[in-house]
Structures are given as structure tokens and as C-alpha cells.
Copies of this chain bind each other. A is one copy, B any other.
Amino acid sequence: MDLSAWVCPLPLRDSPNIVMGHGGGGAMSAELIEHLFLPSFGSAADAELGDSAVFDIGGVRLAFSTDSYVVKPMVFPGGTIGDLAVNGTVNDLAMAGAQPLVMSTAFILEEGTALTDIAGIAKALGRAAHVAGVRLVTGDTKVVDAGHGDGVFINTAGIGIVADGVDINPTRAQVGDVVIVSGDIGVHGVAVMSCREGLEFGTEVRSDCASLNGVVADMIATGVDIHVLRDPTRGGVAATLNEIARASNIGVALVERDLPIPADVRDACGLLGLDPLYVANEGKLIAFVPREDSDRILEAMRGNPLSAGAAVIGECVAEHRGMVVARTALGGNRVVDLPAGEQLPRIC
């Protein structure tokens, strides 16, 4: 098969080749899916091909999600690639309103990686699965030659069950919804950057990496009609809100001073020239709920230690549909764009 015969329809920006930004969860990632993967997959692929899918099998409503994890370094303050591999996939299922039940684990190991390192990562993975209440039921291991991998890459896929009447998806945001975040933002990204070669800056920030299925269960138990849930990972809160604004065709109006940004995250971002709105989180969620139900949801969230810092950060509006606008501390407005690539790659 002669691959050179394929014509690539991707808007090429600067390169006919893959660049790091294609993995950032921003505009370039979306282009890769829309203009390369979906047309190439053809009729076999669902048009959304999103973070998770919900469908019926034999009358049961299932959610299904997968992610590969390539975070560098593999061990960082507050977690490891093993914790991430569980929590990231559990959260993708939870954001569809599903109760995660089973998970697969597939390792791509680089020749020469220490067995003790792999055991430590596998132990963290097992512990995270235990905490989240998911069973590891099937797996795979591949080995690649030294210099053609990077220690350990992990893929997990998970299956969850969606209760009757639950319909949580990014197209359901409505004018009048409030936007809630479950706690401090920017923490995971800063924690990983703080120990990356060449970037050490001695912060005490630890990753927020956690499985949020318990938080979501508490929220669903209120009986409130939750419209959208999303975990703001790659691309941060900015990418997540832009995706939802486009998918639901509403405007998102943020209030900058209401964003919960810890002082050390703010300091680190200042040092690195980053905007905390674009920094990855691994244990936070964004919720869109009707304004009249927001107190009940906030009360339920604040009762769970993983979302004790829940706060309203904005609302859905009929203006600037498809866009996110933040009211600044000085009273002005600024557009919060979808990031193109990623400020710092390999964050998850």
C-alpha cells in the first residue's frame, strides 16, 4: 500500500507533519479529528467521536471511553501516570453521567525501563482503581525498542452504566444555566511542570488527580437536571468552556475574580508566562445547571471532599454565542479563545 497516494485534507498551518500542538486538546486537536480522522475512518465512525460515547446494548445504556497517557515525567508531585490512567478514564465516563464499572489497561513499555518503576506505577494504578470502585478486567503489554518509546505509555478504556433519565452531554447547556467549577484550577498542570527537566521552580503544588465518579453520583442524587459535565484536562477550563459553548451554541460569560486560582498556581503561571485558564486539571469538573437548582448542586458538591471548593464562575448568555468572554478585574471584557495547541505538552 502506497501511503503517499493519500491526500491529506487537514488545514496544514505550518507543517505537513504532526507537531506537539496536535496533542494539546485545543483547536489543532479538533482539526485533526474533524479533517483527518473522521473523513479517513469514513462510514464506520460516529460523527462525534468524542471523549466518551453513550449507546444501548441489549437494552442497557452504556458509556464507553478511552485515553492514552503519556505524561512526562511519569511520577510527579501528587501522582503518577498510573493514577492518571485510572482517574482520567473514570472521569470521562462520569462526565457522561455514568457509573464506571470495568476498565482495560494496556501498557507500551520501552526496552530498558526498570521493572521496579513499572511495578510502582502498576501499584498506583491498582490503588486508584480500588478507590474509584472499578475492576481491571483485561489488559495487554507491548514492548518497543529503546529510543522508540518513553518509559511507560498506558492506555485505559472503561465501561460504565448510565441510569435511566440521566442525559448529560455538551449540547445541553442553555441560556440561564450557571457555570460551576468543583474547586481550584490549574493545579495538575503546575504540579507536572514543577518537576519537569529544565523547568523546576520549587513549588509545593501537588496534582489534583482524582476520580470524580463519587462527586457526580452525589450531584445526580439531588435529582437536579444536570445539563453538562466536563473535566477540564488538556487545554484547561478555557478549552472545555469553548467546546461546550460551540456544542450548545450559547455564550459563556465568566467572572474572572470568581475563578478559584490558588496563589501558588497564580505565581507559577506568572513565572512561566501561562494563563491558569489554559492549564490542565485532573481532579476537577465543570457543571452547567439551571440557575434555580444551583444552590442544591453546590450544597451536594461541597459535602464531598473532592469538590468542597465548588463555586459559580459564570453563566450562559444569549450574546456571543459559541464564545467564552471573561469580565476582568478592571471591569473590562476579554475573549477567552480556544487554545491552538498546548502551552506545555505531555501533561497527561
What is A's interface to B at a CB cutoff of 8 Å?
A: 1, 3-10, 12, 16-24, 29, 32-33, 36-37, 40-46, 49-53, 55, 57-60, 62, 64-70, 75, 79-80, 101-102, 104-127, 129-130, 134-145, 147-150, 153, 155, 157, 159, 161, 345-346
Contact A64 B20, beta carbon cutoff 8 Å: no
Q: 17 A-B contacts, Cβ less than 8 Å apart?
A: A1-B75, A6-B123, A8-B115, A10-B115, A18-B111, A20-B143, A24-B143, A41-B129, A46-B137, A46-B138, A62-B159, A65-B104, A66-B104, A66-B138, A66-B140, A106-B157, A144-B150
CA distance A243 to B140 in the complex (A): 16
Question: For residue A79, which residue of chain B has the nearest CB?
Answer: B1
Contact A68 B155, beta carbon cutoff 8 Å: yes
Distance to closest chain B CB from A145 (angstroms): 7
Q: Which of B58, B129, B150, B155 contacts A155 (CB 8 A)?
A: B155
Contact B138 A50, beta carbon cutoff 8 Å: yes
Q: Which residues of B contact A1 (CB under 8 A)?
A: 75, 79-80, 120, 124
Distance to closest chain B CB from A77 (angstroms): 9
Distance to closest chain B CB from A231 (angstroms): 14
Q: Which residues of B contact A138 (CB under 8 A)?
A: 46, 49-53, 64-66
Distance to closest chain B CB from A185 (angstroms): 22
- The winner among A105, A118, A140, A153 for most chain B CB atoms within 10 A is A140
Contact A70 B144, beta carbon cutoff 8 Å: yes
CA distance A57 to B55 in the complex (A): 13
* Given A3-B120, A23-B143, A120-B3, A36 and B115 contact (CB-CB distance below 8 Å): yes
Distance to closest chain B CB from A19 (angstroms): 6
Interface of chain A, main secondary structure: mixed
Contact B136 A41, beta carbon cutoff 8 Å: yes
Contact B20 A116, beta carbon cutoff 8 Å: no
CA distance A4 to B145 in the complex (A): 23
Contact B8 A106, beta carbon cutoff 8 Å: no
Distance to closest chain B CB from A290 (angstroms): 28
Distance to closest chain B CB from A99 (angstroms): 10
* Given A1-B80, A66-B138, A134-B44, A346 and B144 contact (CB-CB distance below 8 Å): yes
Distance to closest chain B CB from A220 (angstroms): 17
CA distance A20 to B107 in the complex (A): 13
CA distance A82 to B70 in the complex (A): 21
Q: Which residues of B contact A148 (CB under 8 A)?
A: 149-150
Contact B106 A66, beta carbon cutoff 8 Å: yes
Contact A104 B3, beta carbon cutoff 8 Å: no
Q: Which residues of B contact A60 (CB under 8 A)?
A: 57-60
CA distance A136 to B66 in the complex (A): 12
CA distance A79 to B3 in the complex (A): 12
Contact A114 B155, beta carbon cutoff 8 Å: no
Distance to closest chain B CB from A91 (angstroms): 13
Distance to closest chain B CB from A314 (angstroms): 28
Q: Which residues of B contact A139 (CB under 8 A)?
A: 33, 37, 49, 66
